[in-house]
Each structure stands twice: as structure tokens, then as C-alpha cells.
Structure 1
Amino acid sequence: MSTITLLADRIEIADLFTRFARLLDEKRWEDADTVFTDDVAVHSPRSGEIRGIDKVVGFMREAEVEGEGEHTQHMTTDLLVDVDGDRATASANSLVYFYRDGQAPHLTSGLRLACTAVRTPAGWRLRESWTMLAWTHEK
């Protein structure tokens, strides 16, 4: 694999994490196929294990932050990507701010993310994702 291909893959996988965060924050569930494979498996403290893109999207819709004007902002940091051909592992930290329109966050969470990504004809997609809660701070 050339250095240029490896760098391009790493950039696309970094963009994949950004698309995932934006999908959650902007509630763009119709764009889930730009992030996940059809047979994705998601593991998290809130959902347990969910398999299949339709079930994952259904859970995300149901788990939307409730309350008028309440939003999230996911910030992904410390991304580490290891590409091996058409498969990659990636991990990152994520800070999630829960806030209401025009107000400072009232809840913040620190997460650790681990994912397996695969190259598809449409580009890199997450095939499996693990989210681990590291901490939560309520104001």
C-alpha cells in the first residue's frame, strides 16, 4: 500500500468519525448509510448490542435527547487509526455536551470509542462500534 493511499484512507476514516458525530448532533438519521454498513453491530452502555443499520437508526431515533431545545455536541479527539488493507481499527475519545438553546452545557460526558471500519464501494464505513462511558459531569 502506498503512503498516499494510506494517508487518504486515514483521512477518510477520520471524516467517518466526524460524520458519525454530526449524524448524532444534527439528527440526520437518513444519512446513516454514509457512516455504517448494513450489517453494523453497535455496542454501548445505553443500547447494549444492536445489529443492523435499521435497528441502530431506530434506537438513535428513540434515544434522542428529550426536552424542548435540548441538543448534543460531540467532539472527537485523539483519533488513532490502523489500516490493514480493506479493514481498519480506530479508536478515539469523545466529549459530549448536552445543552439547551443559548445556554451552557448542563451535562458533559467523556466517552472512549473503538471501531472496526471496512472499505466498501461507497467508501469507508463502520462495521462495528464500541462506546464506553469514562465519566459524566452534571452541573
Structure 2
Amino acid sequence: MRSWRAYVIGSELLRQRLSRELQESEGIALPDYEVLVRLSECDGWQMRMSHLAGQVASSKSRLSHQISRMEKLGLVKRVECPDDARGVIAELTQKGMDTLRAAAPTHVEGVRAHLVDLMTPEEQKVVAALFERVIEHLDQG
């Protein structure tokens, strides 16, 4: 129970802090930053919406609303999927990439200061292995 409670409270406090730091420095929310990162890592800065939802641990409906809001800000745009008329692709815009580049140092500093630097290299490996196992388990079913 101690581990579970520490994880729940610690992870929520960490997300709140990282989000606040991004909002204050760059005016961007952490979930939007995460979408920008995922898109920036893809060829052509594009990803199918259904796949993106899984990458950011979001429902398709919630991601659709988020992408709509981000489109209004000029950070992303929707593109029709050439292979599937029902599919929709989210694409990072140049403004989105510029926003990501401006926000990245704040995010990296926050993750280091509030998590990575608090762990030994051995603890970092244990945490990574544990959550990779959790993700694999939950992705199976």
C-alpha cells in the first residue's frame, strides 16, 4: 500500500509541477507538449490519430478534442489518411515545432530536477524496467 500511495501522489504532483512550469514559461500544457513531442519524432511530423491516442495514453475522443484546441492555436493540423478514408492524421506545424523547441529546455530541466536527479542510476534502471513491464502488461489486454 505504501508503494501504491507514493506512486499515485508522487506521479500526480510531478505532472502538476511539470505542467505548471511549462504553462508559466511557454504557455503550453503538459498534455499538449507530449503530443508535440510524439509528432516531432515521426517522419513528416505526422501520426495517425488512433496511434497517437495510444502513444499519449488518451482516449480517441479526448485526443480529438485536444487536437481541435491545438489546431486553433496553429500547433497541429489534421490531414486525411491517404490509405484509409476513415483515418485521420495529426501533423505538427512549423509553429508547433517552434513551440516544442522553446518549451523543451523547461521540460527537460523539470524532469531532471524533480525526478531523474533524485534517483541513483540503479534506481533509474529499476523504474524504467518496472514501467516498461507495466505498459507491456496493460497493452496486452
Name the structure with the higher helix share. 2
Whether the TM-score (by the shorter chain) exceeds 0.5 is no
| TM-score normalised by the chain length of structure 1 | 0.30
Q: Which has the larger radius of gyration?
A: 2
More strand by share: 1
TM-score (normalised: structure 2): 0.30
